[in-house]
Structure 1
Amino acid sequence: MLKKISISNYKSFHPTEAVEIELETSTQKPVFFYGLNGAGKSSIGEVIHGWGEKSPDFAHCAVETTGQGVYRPVVYNSDFVDRVIGGVAGMPGIFTLGELDTQSQKKIEEITPEIAAIEARREELKDLTASTASSLTAAKDTALTEVWKAHAAYSSGELQPLIQGYGNNRQKFFDALKAIQVAEDEELDTIENLKKRLAEASGTEPQKSTLSLSQPGFQAIELDAIWQERIVVSGQSRLAPLIEKWGNSDWVNKGREFAHDPECPFCQQTIPHDLLAELSQLLDGDRQTKIDHIQSLAQRYEAAISALEASVNQALQDPFAKEDAGLASAWSALKLVLQTNLVAMKAKTEKPSELASIAESSLGDLLNKLAEINQRISGFNQRISDRDAEKRRITAEFWKILRRDRAAAFSTYDAMTAPLLDQKAEYDKEDRELESKLGSLNVTLTELRQKQTGVDAAMVAINQRLCNMGIFAFSIARKSEQESLYCLNRQGQNSGELKSLSEGEKTLISFLYYMELLKGSEKEGETFQLDKTIVVIDDPISSLSVNYVFDIAALICKELIAPAGGPKVRQVIVLTHNLFFLHELMKQLGVTDKNRKCQLFRVTKNPHTQVGLIKSSELMNDYDALWFILRKARDQQLPAHIVPNTMRCILEHFFSFNNKNEEFKAALGKLEQQDNRFVALARFLDRGSHKDGINFSVMDYADYDLAYYLEKFKAVFDEAGFQQHYEAHMGVA
């Protein structure tokens, strides 16, 4: 069945914006298109015909179908009539099926249901494949959304150049990222480091020199034995026993600086003449030499600290050192040890008789941190030695990070799609096998049917239809000289030309020809299954009288839409501008709710053709429209002053159409006798809408209200015996 027709850039349809017509395919309900002449409805039939003929003129239009196999659209329109009737040689014969021998007929009866079963299974497979494809699409869309998050996270910022070139193409990015291979145990750099490396590779900074520190001899000074030695006075002085007893040699040595006058700076007594000599003998000599050594060591130690601190401070200015607090931290710890040792050394200088606790410092941690920085500097130098290669390495590692980050999305996608892909492959394989088998069966069926084709059956059927319609003035016959052509046969005239037919006769005979063509073909040996035939009928009532319009509608409904028995065409599409014909088609569907039995479209043009679904209730004739206005006025949706004239038009139309004017006048007269107030309104209603040139109101509208109008309007129908007609049109239960 046809499920969608898309038309653009054809005749009155918009040149760029396609009009899409969605047809219901859940049931085989007929499709009716209604539109005024020139609206563009005939173009719909032409597009379907062009699609069936695979005409390149309709490449910008599209027709979508359901089911398997090739459909056969057969379009009845003015072009069809011209082709059938207008040929000089005659009307092409219709090859239809005749009788076969019993064995061949039995074979056909065996093949036909087998073909139907295969096509039904292929239809199931098509639905199953579509369902599987839908699940695959849903899984892919979910995966695309999840994977695209990786792109969105870096679509701006320092790393954006590494993922450019994808725009909004999620599928392209998905495929590119899925192709990346990364081992589970592979160590990858961090995003922050990649940003830094990319900035370095994109910059112009030259290579850097590695860092170095001064090499102080802290250990030799710290391990000197002097720090654990008590520096005491000389035993050669007579003061030595007393000094040693009190243990105040350092204090005495300090006080010697003040012994310049004859009096003692402490006790204010006169200093003995040999005291200074004794002090010199007590404190100088070997003791002083050791004190000088201590002072020298402390000075060297302090100088070494300053030198090391200067080189460390210089190293800390390097950008790589600033990135990591390790070097500064190691220096702080070492500096604390060195400063503590220096304080102890200086204290030893002041008090040489006391022991000094000197810790052994270690530059190991400091040098290790420096080595790490130098390693990064070396890495930097190596990287920028070939900046393009470094950018490629950064890009590769960045994509591996993205791949690992989205690994769960890819795993979920693979887990969801693997069984679906396997299932789809099975469906496709089965469908290919069935297609091959179906092709073989169709070839066999065609060969069998070629044995029973002929053009006489269709000719007889057309003539029989003419007789059934009461047409005996002409018929069709086979041309004796060309067996596959028909010609016109009038009484007393042989081999008449079809062109001699009137327009109405052409329409009638061409449509009967069309009805028979649906069962056969104009080409010998060509066969089609009726359930693969799409019937498209465009205004088959041109120049026909009303009686024949009824006959055409009956043929369409009883033989195409709802045949009593036998095969049925796949789909029926009718296009018309004739509202009476359309109403007759819907009436013959035989149900109250026409919308359940047919699909109805309206074709309009302003300025381009548009097609839209409508309800059958929207297709009102003039008489229906009058009742519609009256109902709206009753429900106070229209002004009351339009009611009298609407009532008059309804009464005039109804009683004139039914030839009941006498009953109408009698009803008015009886109502006048019952209600004198009704006299003026009765004369107005009886006047008619076009009785004379003075078509004005003969009453004062202000004398009556809406309720009175409707009451008397109903009374007219009741009095004339048409109460049911009134109730049906006014929607009274």
Structure 2
Amino acid sequence: MIEQISIDGVASYTGGAAVLSELRSVNFIFGANGSGKTTLSRVIAKPETYANCAVSWAGRSPLQCLVYNRDFIEENFTARMRGIFTLGHEDAAVLQAIEDLKKDIDDVSNTIRARKHTLEGPDGNGGKRKELHDLNTNFQEACWKTKLKHEDKFREAFRGVLNSRANFADRMFAEFESNSVDLKSQDDLETRAATIFADVKLRQDRLPDIPGSEIVALEAAAILDKRVVGKEDVSIADMIKRLGNSDWVKQGLGYFHQNGDCCPFCQQTTDDAFRHDLEAYFDETYQRDLDAIAGIATAYDEHSKSIIRQLDAVLLVQSEYLDRPLFEQTAEALRTKLSLNAQHIGRKRAEPSVKIILEGVAATIDTLNAIAAEANQKIDAHNALIDNIVSEREKLISEIWRYIVDEAKLPLEAYKTARLALTNAISGLTTGIAAKERERNEKSARLQELERQVTSVQPTVNAINSLLDSFGFRNFKLATAHEGDRFYTVIRSDGSEARETLSEGEKTFIVFLYFYYLISGSVSESGITTNRIVVIDDPVSSLDSDILFIVSSLIKKLFAKVQEPASTLKQVFVLTHNIYFHKEVAFDPKRSGGERRNFETFWVVRKKDDYSVIEGHLHNPIRTSYEMLWQEVRNENRSMLTIQNTLRRILENYFTILGNMDKDKIIDKFVGQDQQICNSLFSWVNDGSHNAYEDLYLACDSTTVERFLAVFKQVFAVTEQSAHYDMMMAPR
């Protein structure tokens, strides 16, 4: 069942969380219209839709909620009301099997609840899981004290777990489980730590070599030292050779073709033989040589760029062992040579007949690699030293942790034993709960099958119609619709549709009866024996006194049913604004001294200023409407917005109706200034309760309220009714 309800940030609940706690099987909630009762019923029905509200279930096991409020009326009073399936009486054996299965399911559910209680506590934040959490927390704190004790001397050994209690404790326990190095003394460890941890250096990467073999091979290419000219056995070869202008002729060949075989320089027309000789001079051999030169130019450019990237990479390394000035000077010389050679090769491409000689870079590259090799020898020596230090550091760190865990050996062993016991218990409970939940699911599936064999919607129709007839409602009744007889409709005695012609009271009554029988049934063929809670919100809002008595009698039967251990009804909430209905439904002759019984709670929902509050009571707080008025006066947190009307109603009830004394006679009891105050009091309460007075003339603040409450008391004194005032103001 529900143990606690918290409502906040919805509708009129804006003044902080309103909480109903320590709820029991039967819970009475009284409140005026607009105080927030329906909101409460809606939160119970669908708590997941209200972000700031919470419904806490016993054992954290939610039950089915059946909520009767105006939402239920609107949703269910339709042309076709869903039929209510109930168990029949045709097969006693099946009914007995259903009863036995229901008992088994309840027993299994109780076992699950008990195990969850042991595992997680009543609110999900306790139990064995909480014990394990607390054990780990205490262990972490103890380990942290060890860390603080030795941090100054052994800080480097704790690197990586210095800023986390959990991580430090995990490391300490892991070392306790696995560290088996020889135990050293604290003095020895501190002496070695002062040396090995003093200057922590890192390994350095070796410098890369500068690749040069490919570019050196390109420098030796024969094509660079070759005069690339055309074919010499054509008629114009001698002229070109004599003039030494083959490169110039090659460049002009393109213009010759563009100019329609006319000489681009003298503009004379040439014959076919001249064009043939000119093209034959620059044959395939000539073109292959040009392609070879172009290939060398491309390759030389790529290898040059690769070398420069390597040079830049070396210079980016911040190594103390590199002769940086010498390396930078030599690298700059290499860049210069590469740039000059690129220019020479570019000239060779433009003038193939020219011989070129490239600047040799092999010696320069060798010099750079020699400088890097010398640095690498020193880096290798440095890294060898670091490797040895790393090894010594790792050994020392392991020995320090061995000393630390040996110092805390007994607490560690105690923690290990306790943790093992708790983890085994948690594992066993978790496995057991899962097994019981599978068993419950299997039994529930079997129960649903049995329920389908003996359920029907007709018994509910018969029961409701019988009840209507016994109470004198003979002009309408329920009937099954003609859609598989799974729906109800409201009809007149002649069979015509009656839903639209029912009075508000008749409509409310028949929907309440529908809800009342739904409590023991289901709108499907299964789920009839599901455990559930019931919320009934203002069931007599539009009903007369006769029906009020009928409804209260039916609800009282639910109170008896909820006390039966085998009942599917586990909890009832009754909310109302009607004092007479509340007195009737809450009446219990066995309630001694007004104190509530051990299965019930009483609550009052009221507006404080402009937000709703909920107050719990140890006894039924509702006596009569007159007593309720005095309760508001007694309340120190009284609403300044309603106290006006409260005082007026008390004066009218006691002096005018019961005492037959009008206000003028009461005012006449006063003299002088007191008479003016009394007259002001009567004017104020009537003004505040019947008219929207303007704050310009009267501000309703706490000082005003207290002033007129004092005069209100004097009214009883001057009329010799102080005894009544004292009795009604006495603490309840």
2-structure distance, mates of 1:198, 1:7: 63
> Where do residues 145-184 of structure 1 align in structure 2 (5 Å cutoff)?
145-153=141-149, 159=155, 162=158, 170-180=165-175, 181-183=178-180
2-structure distance, mates of 1:630, 1:18: 24
C-alpha change, 1:467 and 1:575, in structure 2 (3 Å) is same
User: Could you tell me how far 1:77 is from its partner in structure 2?
Assistant: 2.1
> Where do residues 295-374 of structure 1 align in structure 2 (5 Å cutoff)?
none
Aligned to 1:312: none
Residues 31, 577 of structure 2: 8 Å contact kept? yes
1:624 pairs with 2:631: no
> Where do residues 133-282 of structure 1 align in structure 2 (5 Å cutoff)?
133-153=129-149, 159=155, 162=158, 170-180=165-175, 181-183=178-180, 185-187=182-184, 192-193=190-191, 196-197=194-195, 200-202=198-200
1-structure distance, mates of 2:145, 2:726: 66
Residues 595, 620 of structure 2: 8 Å contact kept? no
2-structure distance, mates of 1:486, 1:460: 12
SS at match of 1:696: helix
C-alpha change, 1:425 and 1:537, in structure 2 (3 Å) is same
1:575 pairs with 2:575: yes
Residues 88, 454 of structure 2: 8 Å contact kept? yes
> Where do residues 538-553 of structure 1 align in structure 2 (5 Å cutoff)?
538-553=537-552
Residues 557, 588 of structure 1: 8 Å contact kept? no
1:50 pairs with 2:17: no
2-structure distance, mates of 1:608, 1:164: 53
1-structure distance, mates of 2:40, 2:385: 69
SS at match of 2:46: helix
C-alpha change, 1:731 and 1:413, in structure 2 (3 Å) is same
Residues 26, 599 of structure 2: 8 Å contact kept? yes
1:558 pairs with 2:557: yes
Long gaps (5+) in structure 1: 205-379, 633-643, 662-684, 718-725
1-structure distance, mates of 2:36, 2:651: 37
C-alpha change, 1:144 and 1:466, in structure 2 (3 Å) is farther
User: Could you tell me how far 1:506 is from its partner in structure 2?
Assistant: 2.5
2-structure distance, mates of 1:730, 1:605: 20
SS at match of 1:31: strand
C-alpha change, 1:391 and 1:6, in structure 2 (3 Å) is farther
Aligned to 1:75: 67
Residue 696 of structure 1: which of 628, 649, 667 is its match? 667
Aligned to 1:99: 89
Aligned to 1:294: none
Residues 492, 498 of structure 2: 8 Å contact kept? no
User: Which amino acid in the other structure matches residue 84 of structure 2?
Assistant: I
Write the deviation string for residues 404-439 of structure 1: whole angstroms up to 9, x where unpaired.
444333321222233344344444444333333333
Residues 533, 570 of structure 2: 8 Å contact kept? yes
Residues 31, 572 of structure 1: 8 Å contact kept? yes
2-structure distance, mates of 1:388, 1:620: 85
2-structure distance, mates of 1:21, 1:189: 58
C-alpha change, 1:486 and 1:104, in structure 2 (3 Å) is same
2-structure distance, mates of 1:23, 1:569: 20
User: Could you tell me how far 1:449 is from its partner in structure 2?
Assistant: 1.6
> Where do residues 588-603 of structure 1 align in structure 2 (5 Å cutoff)?
588=588, 590-591=590-591, 592-594=594-596, 596-603=598-605
User: Could you tell me how far 1:471 is from its partner in structure 2?
Assistant: 2.9
User: Which amino acid in the other structure matches residue 535 of structure 2?
Assistant: V
> Where do residues 385-464 of structure 1 align in structure 2 (5 Å cutoff)?
399-464=401-466
2-structure distance, mates of 1:431, 1:161: 44
User: Which amino acid in the other structure matches residue 542 of structure 1?
Assistant: S
SS at match of 1:552: helix
1-structure distance, mates of 2:582, 2:512: 17
Aligned to 2:487: 485
User: Could you tell me how far 1:515 is from its partner in structure 2?
Assistant: 1.0
Residues 476, 488 of structure 1: 8 Å contact kept? yes
Aligned to 2:661: 687
User: Which amino acid in the other structure matches residue 124 of structure 1?
Assistant: A
C-alpha change, 1:123 and 1:39, in structure 2 (3 Å) is same
User: Which amino acid in the other structure matches residue 594 of structure 1?
Assistant: R
2-structure distance, mates of 1:646, 1:37: 18
TM-score of the two chains, using structure 1 as the length reference: 0.56
2-structure distance, mates of 1:400, 1:39: 68
Write the deviation string for residues 349-388 of structure 1: whole angstroms up to 9, x where unpaired.
xxxxxxxxxxxxxxxxxxxxxxxxxxxxxxx998767777
SS at match of 1:567: coil
Residues 177, 399 of structure 1: 8 Å contact kept? yes
The percentage of counterpart residues that share the same residue type is 24
1-structure distance, mates of 2:575, 2:192: 68
1-structure distance, mates of 2:10, 2:604: 18
SS at match of 1:476: strand
Residues 595, 618 of structure 2: 8 Å contact kept? no
Residues 201, 383 of structure 1: 8 Å contact kept? no
Aligned to 1:370: none
User: Could you tell me how far 1:34 is from its partner in structure 2?
Assistant: 4.1
SS at match of 1:200: coil
1-structure distance, mates of 2:133, 2:166: 12
2-structure distance, mates of 1:646, 1:481: 55
Residues 20, 616 of structure 2: 8 Å contact kept? no
C-alpha change, 1:141 and 1:622, in structure 2 (3 Å) is same
Aligned residues: 494
C-alpha change, 1:600 and 1:146, in structure 2 (3 Å) is farther
2-structure distance, mates of 1:538, 1:166: 59
Write the deviation string for residues 267-314 of structure 1: whole angstroms up to 9, x where unpaired.
xxxxxxxxxxxxxxxxxxxxxxxxxxxxxxxxxxxxxxxxxxxxxxxx
User: Could you tell me how far 1:626 is from its partner in structure 2?
Assistant: 6.3
Aligned to 1:258: none
C-alpha change, 1:631 and 1:12, in structure 2 (3 Å) is closer
User: Which amino acid in the other structure matches residue 443 of structure 2?
Assistant: L
Aligned to 2:357: none
User: Could you tell me how far 1:145 is from its partner in structure 2?
Assistant: 3.0
1-structure distance, mates of 2:396, 2:437: 53
C-alpha change, 1:564 and 1:165, in structure 2 (3 Å) is closer
> Where do residues 485-564 of structure 1 align in structure 2 (5 Å cutoff)?
485-492=487-494, 494-523=495-524, 525-529=525-529, 532-560=531-559
1:64 pairs with 2:67: no
1-structure distance, mates of 2:427, 2:7: 34
Write the deviation string for residues 51-87 of structure 1: whole angstroms up to 9, x where unpaired.
5xxx6x45665433224866211122222111101x3
Residues 96, 458 of structure 1: 8 Å contact kept? yes
2-structure distance, mates of 1:102, 1:3: 37
User: Could you tell me how far 1:627 is from its partner in structure 2?
Assistant: 5.8
C-alpha change, 1:152 and 1:546, in structure 2 (3 Å) is farther
1-structure distance, mates of 2:162, 2:19: 36
C-alpha change, 1:415 and 1:545, in structure 2 (3 Å) is same
2-structure distance, mates of 1:649, 1:157: 86
SS at match of 1:201: coil
SS at match of 2:574: strand
SS at match of 1:445: helix
User: Which amino acid in the other structure matches residue 412 of structure 1?
Assistant: A
User: Could you tell me how far 1:465 is from its partner in structure 2?
Assistant: 3.1
User: Could you tell me how far 1:110 is from its partner in structure 2?
Assistant: 3.6
User: Which amino acid in the other structure matches residue 627 of structure 2?
Assistant: D
SS at match of 1:520: coil
User: Which amino acid in the other structure matches residue 412 of structure 2?
Assistant: F
User: Which amino acid in the other structure matches residue 56 of structure 2?
Assistant: E
Aligned to 1:587: 587
User: Could you tell me how far 1:132 is from its partner in structure 2?
Assistant: 3.6
User: Could you tell me how far 1:453 is from its partner in structure 2?
Assistant: 0.8
C-alpha change, 1:399 and 1:567, in structure 2 (3 Å) is same
